[in-house]
Structure 1
Amino acid sequence: MADPKLKVGVYRYEHTEPLFDGRVTMDGVDATLETSPLISDIFRRMAQGGLDVAEFGLTYFLRMFDPADPPFLALPIFPNRNFRHSALFVNADSGIERPEDLAGRTVGEFALYGHDPGVWMKGVLADEYGVTPDQMEWVIGGTDHPVPPFDWIPQPVPDGVRVRHLDDAQTLSALLETGEIDALLSVDVPQSLIDGSTKKIRRLFVDYEAVERDYYRRTGIFPMMHLVAIRRELAGVPGLAESVYRAFSQAKELVQEHYRAIAAKQHMAVITPWFSRLFAENRALLGEDWWPYGVDANRKAVDTFLRYHYEQGLSKPLLTSEDIFVPSLLGTP
């Protein structure tokens, strides 16, 4: 019998590159790997039926997840993750010095109400600082460039939260620069902050690395932004989900082992100065598998995001890892 054909969409990260260049294959699967310069295009294609297995933002996955009849199930593969205290920016003249100062302010958010970094940081603000989304007014748009509405996924807004969208000619970074909004929560860093051309925009957490490292030490959570989704009818094909999971895991492990192996030569192949010191610090804090896949290693982080999504009115039921992952992969370490 011929191997099942799969269209697999994923961004071309260094830890997925072995899938594209053929160093890692999916046993028993005739897989066609596809990517896009805009990761949201991969999400859209999956949502509209153009892919069988795909990288999917957590909130995009959950907005389409119906516990009674889900179109997709999740694989415990997390190709994109990042600490997100660094995603909060403020106008330097706004008087916002602490997270608590965000209450009563107008905050921009990238692309949609509740993008993945937004869900994480709204949850952190509520849990750790007592600031909840209903205490702010939200303005949705593009950071440095206008973005079209993501009208291919549901966009719920809970009662009691004020949300408006920018028009086609406006950007959030411009409004932050002029003080028309007080803060910005965005996966994209304003370009003017990157190139040093502004004195009006700064991060809320100035020493964000120290804050994020402390957050990990206290919680053990390394926030994931994306997972890999599979169509529900394919999730029941014997061995298929396991093959996809093994391939992604092997690709990621190849990259991790490369960094471990070249540590003895002070990472001569890496273009970033002082990378070896950063690598050693991260390895000491995050462990030998600093980018873990599998349910058990990620259960606390996943369940925390699921709780945040529910508390922020973006999911109707409160879900857990057992609800969303392919059952045969629930025992993965």
Structure 2
Amino acid sequence: MNNIKLNVGAWKYFHTEALLDGTVKIEGVDASFESGKIISDIFERMVRDKAYDVAELGLTFYLRMLEQGDTSFIALPIFPNRQFRHSAIFINTASGIEKPEDLAGKTIGEFGLYGHDAGVWPKGILSDDFGVKPEQSRWIIGASDWYMPPFDFVPQPHPDDVDVRPVPKGKALGTMLENGEIDAFISAHAPTCIVNGSPKVARLFPDYESVERDYYQRTGIFPIMHTVVIRKDLLEKHLDLAQAVYRAFCESKDIAMEKYRTQTVRQNMEAMMPWFTPLFEKNRQLMGDDWWPYGIEANRKTLDTFLRYFYEQGLSKHLWTCEEIFVPELFRT
């Protein structure tokens, strides 16, 4: 490769910062980076306009494109966003929901679309661990604190036996939750009523950290939300490009991890977070030195679980495999 130009859409996380600020270079590439007001802006521009050569993309958005036969881009096993999601389930305290099983028969809001990345995981966990199926509830799709109809730039399939409707015009799901118009809400974005400590709302799992740590200890799964995709026509012209992009994202992440490690010497005083160092050590004890791995093999169980959930929830007609959705050059990572 000879300094090819790439337009990259990516969010600025701590672990991508070295890449976005130029500290880390993609070998043989002159890269320019763009972001958005919210992460879904990048998704929309990539899906609707093919605006980037390389872009961060939610797993569910990527799979929906594959389902409709759009194979213009393919994923690299880079996972810039992952979160435990027991903490993403919010309830109205007057709804009668005291345990996960009580969600059956309730009306539940969901952010963005039925089966967004932070929705596929909780639904799958509720089904696997508590026997609660999506078809047992009613679903309303919108945004947390402002009116937003469901995303219109990707297909939104759902099984016929699942009741899914758009949010009423002018309504926000966080407000509806606080007012008791919906019983629960699943969202990557905590609604303002939760952040402000309204007594009318709570989390389904109040001690979610302990629940999520137990989940990881039982399963070894640290849920993946997003991947990185690249235009397939570029890979045909530049055979080493997939490896180069992968290595650069890995290097940027490794720099962030090393900062965490070296800053423990100074008790992480840069973080403005008391007791950050013991939290860091607690996480290392549970999850190992690299709790945020890239590559397929270190993430195969997590990826296979997401793909199963995506299929079981009626979001795909086909049970996808890792070998079908990632570039062949990186199968052994």
Tell me the secondary structure at the aligned position of residue 309 of structure 1: helix
Q: How big is the shift at 1:69? A: 5.9
Is the 2:16–2:249 Cα contact (8 Å) retained in structure 1?
Answer: yes
What is the percent sequence identity of the aligned residues? 57
Deviation at 1:266, TM superposition (A): 1.4
Query: Does the 8 A contact of 1:146 with 1:170 survive in 2?
Result: yes
Aligned amino acid, residue 9 of structure 2: G
In 2: Cα distance, 1:61 partner to 1:74 partner: 8
2:231 alignment partner in structure 1? 231
Per the alignment, residue 42 of structure 1 pairs with: 42
User: Within the alignment, does 1:15 sit opposite 2:15 as a pair?
Assistant: yes
Answer yes or no: is the 8 Å Cα contact 1:67–1:323 preserved in 2: no
In 2, distance between residues paired with 1:136 and 1:164?
A: 12
Tell me whether 1:247 sits opposite 2:258 in the alignment: no
| 1:67 CA drift (Å) | 8.9
Contact 1:235 1:326 in 2 (8 A): no
- SS of residue in 2 equivalent to 1:14: coil
Query: In 2, are the aligned partners of 1:52 and 1:231 still within 8 Å (CA)?
Result: yes
TM-aligned CA deviation for residue 193 of structure 1:
1.6
Deviations 1:185-230 (A, max 9, x none): 111111122122x111000001000000000000000001100011
Does residue 33 in structure 1 map to residue 29 in structure 2?
no
Stretches of structure 1 that go unaligned for 5 or more consecutive residues are none
Question: Residues 138-194 of structure 1: CA distance to partner in whole angstroms, max 9, x if unpaired?
Answer: 011111111243111111121100011113310111111121111111111111221
Q: Is the 8 A contact 2:141 2:150 kept in 1?
A: no
> Deviation digits for residues 109-151 of structure 1, max 9, x if unmatched?
1111111111001000111111110000001111111124311
**How much does 1:68 deviate?**
6.6
- Give the aligned residue type for 2:255: L
Whichever residue aligns with residue 210 of structure 1, its letter is: S
Secondary structure of the equivalent of 1:65? Answer: helix
> How do residues 59-208 of structure 1 correspond to structure 2 at under 5 angstroms?
59-66=60-67, 70-196=71-197, 198-208=198-208
User: What SS does the aligned partner of 1:175 have?
Assistant: helix
Q: Which residue of 2 aligns with 1:311?
A: 312
Tell me how large the CA RMSD over aligned residues is: 1.3
Change (3 A) 1:272 1:134: same
TM-score under structure 2 length normalisation: 0.97
Measure how far apart 1:4 and its partner are. Answer: 2.1
Gapped regions of structure 2 (runs ≥ 5): none
Give deviations 1:206-258, integer Å, cap 9, x for gaps.
Answer: 10000000000000000011000111222333100110000000000001001
Structure 1 residues 253-268: aligned runs within 5 Å: 253-268=254-269
Q: Which moved more, 1:259-268 or 1:245-254?
A: 259-268
On the 8 A contact 2:149/2:167 being kept in 1, the answer is no
Alpha-carbon contact 1:91-1:182 (below 8 Å) kept:
yes
| Contact residue 84 and residue 223 of structure 2 kept, 8 A | yes
SS at match of 1:31: strand
1:270 corresponds to: 271
TM-score by length of 1: 0.97
- Tell me, in whole angstroms, the C-alpha distance in 2 between the residues paired with 1:313 and 1:38: 27
- How far apart, in 2, do the equivalents of 1:136 and 1:218 lie? 27
SS in 2 for 1:262: helix
With 44-53 and 240-249 compared, the bigger mean Cα shift is at 44-53
* Contact persistence 1:65–1:72 (CA under 8 A): no
Give the letter for the 2:244 counterpart. Answer: S
Q: Secondary structure at the match of 1:64?
A: helix
Deviations 1:72-128 (A, max 9, x none): 211111111100000001110111111111111111111111111110010001111
Secondary structure, counterpart of 1:112 in structure 2: coil
Range that drifts further, 147-156 or 78-87: 147-156
CA shift for structure 1 position 265? 2.2
State whether residues 141 and 149 of structure 2, in contact with CA within 8 Å, keep that contact through their aligned partners in structure 1: no
